[in-house]
Amino acid sequence: MCGIVGILGDHEAAPILIDALKRLEYRGYDSAGIATVDAGSLGRRRAMGKLVNLSDLLMHEPITGKSGIGHTRWATHGAPNVINAHPHRAKDVAVVHNGIIENYKDLRDELTAAGTVFETETDTETVVQLCMSYLNEGLSSIDAAAATIKCLEGAYALCFLFEGEDDLLIAARKGSPLAIGHGDGEMYVGSDALALAPMTDKITYLEEGDWAVVTRSSLEIRDADGKLANREMRTIKVDAGKTDKGIHKHYMMKEIAEQPTVLADAIGHYTDAETGTVSVPNLNIDFTTVDKITMVACGTAYLACSVAKYWFEQIASIPCEVDVASEFRYREPPMSDKSVAMFVSQSGETADTLAALRYCAEKVAKTVAVVNVAESSISRECDISLPIHAGVEIGVASTKAFTCQLIALAAVVISAARARGEMDAAVEQELHDALNNLPGLINQSLAHQSHIDAVTIDLAKAADALFLGRGVMYPLALEGALKLKEISYIHAEGYASGELKHGPIALVDEHMPVIVMAPKDDLFDKTVSNMQEVMARGGKVLLVTDQSGADTAGDGVWKTIIMPPVHNMLAPVLYAIPAQLIAYYTAVRKGTDVDQPRNLAKSVTVE
């Protein structure tokens, strides 16, 4: 999704804007631009592709001024090209926007009828032309922006900059997050705290429907009704230094390698070594009265929920429903006031997940967020917010967030099982120990990277791939397929092993790798039968299993990846590592953009 920055500073704005936009690159984009005001004169520069192209342009055609706005664009309306790049400008006003203005066509028609000539097909240009029309009517910059915002429907984070106004930014938020940064004699606007981290850790988050008048010495926030609103200024711990790649070629590899450390942090947060127990701070839910758990998320976060469904039902004996947010919110399922709704999201800003939360908010007993960004919208709007302690995740492909989400969810499951009398102290101790052994097992798995790299030599030549898993490993098969497809662009599908004969086995031939995620658990023998059906038809099986599984069923398979033995419940956490590495090394071989795969964004803040 798009990234927004704004600054009212006491140094030249252009280099600071570019640096802040670099920290938003992880969101995915196809063009970028900035605008500044210098002694009242509004200037603009935009470029296609990566930020380096905009920096090169500014070297040759600099713009000056200590006030400015910047944007990285992930195209929604209008092709990715310079003319559609932000900031959009209409003579005396420039705007940067993240989101979708749903009524832009009606507004555009009215403006066109009144004589406005549009340059682009974008929804954002409608915003800036509408604002200019109010300026032409004689409204002040602030009133023109306020009148414009009132007309907009849909989702937006906006920042306005005006000709003749060296000390004014107007910021507005509805559906897409926006933060105000407080500096020393400077003020900033940003899509998230990460963008502003080097300038300040003092952040005020705009709430839904808020708009703000920002000057170097003041911040006035008004709510959707136009009333003055008092929003808390928080100190946000974002270590800007942690957003570099370190020794790694890609953020994704760095984040895969961080998993032993960040999982240890997450496990440490949710377990107590002295008592050998698992606990979730602030989980004020009486699970003995809970009749159902509903979990809603998107993408990899949805697959973490799908793993947790097996756990809630098998370990805590609580009925559990899981759905992708984009379906759930329109399915409008009846909800019980005895149920708990959980929303899992790395960014905490995914539009569909946020909308699903708002659908559930007044209907269930408690809403619970499982997020990686503590100050995010989903976190702030849920009754309870559970951190996953994954640290900043930059790579578009979610890796450490997925495994840390599973740790947080496992802790909730164990707490619920204990509360409902479904788990005794001995079993809890066993799971406590299994959780605390995980970081070491992940380290062992990471030590075999070169073997996995070698496996991908042939995989990278494939056009299609099939991932199979049973039971709690079925969602892991789906996750392996998602990882591979989203960064290597190989068409990959995940399937329940038992479904093979109901269709997918027709795909099997000597060209399509079949990756089987199967620790030697209670369902292993059934999965082996499926695997043999594949091999009997010339299929190439890559078996990901433990030593016992390899000894039992490794003969005849195309390739094997052997994992350390792990507690059955936690196999999806450990086996996520080979799934991630298979995707990573395949993508590197194919030369795709591992950290910012084509067409994808890190946080999908629009429907």
Choose the catalytic residue: 2, 131, 298, 320: 2
Name the residue nearer to ligand AGP (CB basis): 347 or 560: 347
Closest-CB residue for ligand AGP?
299
Is residue 597 a contact residue for ligand AGP (CB under 6 A)? no
Residue 298 has φ and ψ, to the nearest 5°, of: -130, 155
Instruction: Report in angstroms how near the CB of residue 344 gets to ligand AGP at its nearest.
Output: 7
Judge whether 339 and 290 are in contact, CB under 8 Å.
yes
Structure tokens given for 21 = 């936009």
Check residue 346 for interaction with ligand AGP (CB under 6 A). Answer: yes
Is 345 a binding residue for ligand AGP by CB under 6 A? The answer is yes
Q: How far is the CB of 603 from ligand AGP (least distance, A)?
A: 5
Which H, E and C letters describe 319-353, residue by residue?
CEEEEEHHHHHHHCCCCCCCCEEEEEECCCCCHHH
State which residue, 13 or 601, has the beta carbon closest to ligand AGP.
601
- Give the residue from 97, 93, 75 showing the smallest Cα distance to 84: 75
Tell me the angle at which helices 400-419 and 299-314 cross, rounded to the nearest 10 degrees.
Answer: 20
Q: Specify whether 309 is catalytic.
A: no
Bridge partner residues of 229 (DSSP): 221
- Interacting span for ligand AGP (CB under 6 A) from 81-89, 295-303, 513-521, 557-565: 295-303
Looking at the Cβ atoms of 43 and 348, the one nearer to ligand AGP is: 348
Kind and range of the H or E run holding 512 = none
Output 148 or 398, the one with its CB closest to ligand AGP: 398
The SS3 call for residue 276 is coil
Q: Is the peptide bond before 87 cis (omega within 30 degrees of 0)?
A: yes
Q: What's the chain's Rg over C-alpha atoms?
A: 25
By C-beta, is 303 or 365 nearer to ligand AGP?
Answer: 303
Among 143, 142, 186, residue whose Cα is nearest residue 165: 142
- What is the rounded CA–CA span in Å between residue 484 and residue 369? 27
Question: What is the pairing mode between strands 293-297 and 228-229?
Answer: unpaired
**Bridge partners for 222 per DSSP:** 211, 228
Coil, strand or helix at 221: strand
Does residue 605 belong to the site contacting ligand AGP (CB under 6 A)? Answer: no
Contact, 72 vs 29, CB < 8 A?
yes
Among 68, 299, 513, 572, binds ligand AGP (CB under 6 A): 299
Asked if 301 is part of the footprint of ligand AGP (rule: CB under 6 A), the reply reads yes
Contact flag: residue 259 with ligand AGP (CB under 6 A): no
Q: Considering only residues 243, 367, 398, 415, which one is a binding residue for ligand AGP as defined by CB under 6 A?
A: 398
Catalytic (active site) residue 151: no
* Binders of ligand AGP in range 475-514 (CB under 6 A): 486
CB closer to ligand AGP out of 317 and 599: 599
SS3 566: coil
User: In this chain, which of 84, 126, 191, 603 binds ligand AGP, going by CB under 6 A?
Assistant: 603
Does residue 176 touch ligand AGP according to CB under 6 A?
A: no
> Smallest gap, in angstroms, from Cβ of residue 162 to ligand AGP?
34
Q: Pick from 350, 367, 377, 586 the residue near ligand AGP by CB under 6 A.
A: 350
396 contacts ligand AGP (rule: CB under 6 A): yes
Report how far residue 572's alpha carbon sits from residue 51's, in angstroms, rounded to the nearest whole number: 38
Find the binder of ligand AGP among 148, 347, 377, 403 (CB under 6 A): 347
Name the site residues for ligand AGP (rule: CB under 6 A): 298-301, 345-347, 350, 353, 396-398, 486, 603-604
Supply the residues annotated as catalytic: 2, 602
